[in-house]
Structures are given as structure tokens and as C-alpha cells.
Amino acid sequence: MKTDLKTNLKSIWARAYVRIVGANREPSWILSETVLPLLNTAAFVYVYKALRAPEEYIGFVILGGAMTAYWMNVLWSMASQFYWEKEMGNLELYLIAPISRMSILLGMAIGGIFYATLRAVVVFVFGSLIFRVNFFISGVVELFLIFILTMIALYGMGMFFASLFMLWGREAWHTSNLFQEPIYLLGGFFFPVKTLGYTVAMFASAIPISLGLDGMRQLCFKTGKTLGFLDVKIEILLLLGLSIFYIWISHYALLFMENLGKKQGRLTLKWQ
């Protein structure tokens, strides 16, 4: 048992190390992953300025623009990862290694969070300074708790998608593109999710980042609670439930898809 734990911890660090170090080896990636998203966020800011929207909406956009880094990381570096590994011929090595597939994805998640945080911090800090966003933190502990639970639930969902993409093959690329824009809408990245209406907002609550952004906005701005969808305490409980659910379902989905793929021979490029 102790040996298995040590082996899995080593695999977690091995996968995380590659992404942490790799994020700093290509300067052009840093530029494209920080400056370009800031320009995209600025476009929405100027739309609100042109409409003379309340100042809080500019802060909503900055915060949402920063959080897009984590969603893009989950979509392309977590959910699609096993597809890329199959393309490069590494998936077979992962499957025969005496480690849990969850440890591989957990290492990717830790390394991915480090890489995504770089982009998120740049967008958040520079966006806040350039557009002079005024923040009013009403609960530091609650804010930290919501962020952590959002990350756990979001990357847990990424692990679940990884099990599906592992079998979809080239369709994983199209599915990733398909999920990208709808989540921008349902997640309320650039507007309060409450605007979608109660029914749609409840449906969107299955996406962790929807509740996470709503809760963080309520805690970061004076009038944030008036535009919030649910009470912050309720959102914390829902995020806790989503964290447990997505990690649980991803564990069994990975086992099911792996066993199914082995029986049907669908985990190698020869099947495609």
C-alpha cells in the first residue's frame, strides 16, 4: 500500500513537473497566452463602456476574463489530453504502468493550474489597473473557499471528459470546439449568470465555473450580491457537492472506458 502511494505521488509530480517547466520554455507561448486574452477581455470592457453600464460590470468582465484561463486549460489540456497522448503513442504506456490513471490526470491538473494561473493573474492585474476596477472584498475566507472548490470541481469535470475523449478519437477535437463557446455563455464569463433567467441559470449551475464566478463576484464588489444568482453559502455547498460528484464519476468513468477500450481494441491508433 505504501509503495503504491509512493509510486502514484511520483507520477503526479512527474506529470505536473513537465507542465510547470514547459510553461517557461517557450516565450512566445507566454505572450500568446497572456496578451491576447487581455485584448479579448478589453473588447468586452469597451462594449460595456459604450453602453454606459455600471462600473461593476467592468469588474465582472475582468474577473471572468481571468477565469477563462482555467476553463481553456481544462478543455484543451485535461479533457483532450488522452487523445493527444494516443496520437503521440503514449497512451499505451500509461495503461500498462502500475499507477492509477487518476494520478496522471491529477498531475496534469496541478501543472495546468500553475500554467493557467500565470495567464489569469496577468489578465486580472493588468485589466484591473488599466480600467481602474474597484474591488470590495466582503469575505476573504469565503472567497478563497469558493475558488478552491471551483478548481476542484472544474478539474474533476475535466477528468470525466478525459475518459470520454479517450474513446472518441478525432471527434475529441470537434467536441472541444463545440464546448468552448456554449460554456462562455452558460458560465456567465462576461455577465452575471442571473441574467439568463432562473431556469437556465439552474441548468448552468452544473458547470462549476458558473457558480464559482457568481460567488466570487458577490464577494468582490459592493453591489455584487444584488446581481448574484444564489446565496454565497448555498453556492459553496453546491460546489462542494459538484467536487465530490465529478471526482467520483470521473474515477468510475475512467475505469469503465479503459476496460471497454481494452475489450474492443479502441485505445490505439490502429482502430482509427
Q: Is 98 exposed, middle or buried (0-12, 13-18, 19+ CB in 10 A)?
A: exposed
Q: What angle do CA 94, 99, 104 make, to 5 degrees?
A: 60
Contact 70, 213 (CB under 8 A): no
Q: How far apart are CA 172 and CA 104, in angstroms?
A: 19
Buried b (16+ CB within 10 A) or exposed e, 218-230: bbbbeebeebbbb
Please give the pLDDT value at position 270.
46
Assign 262 a pLDDT band (cuts: 50, 70, 90): low
Please give the pLDDT value at position 159.
82
Q: Where are the domains of the chain?
A: 2-264
Mean pLDDT of all residues in the chain?
Answer: 80
Give pTM, 2 decimals: 0.83
Assign 272 a pLDDT band (cuts: 50, 70, 90): very low
Assign 239 a pLDDT band (cuts: 50, 70, 90): very high
Please give the pLDDT value at position 1.
47
Q: How far apart are CA 77 and CA 180, in angstroms?
A: 13
Phi-psi region of 265 (alpha: psi -120 to 50; beta: other; left: phi over 0): left
- Judged against a pLDDT cut of 70, whether residue 25 lies above it is answered with no
Residue 135 DSSP class: P
pLDDT in tens, 101-127: 778 878 888 877 887 888 888 888 888
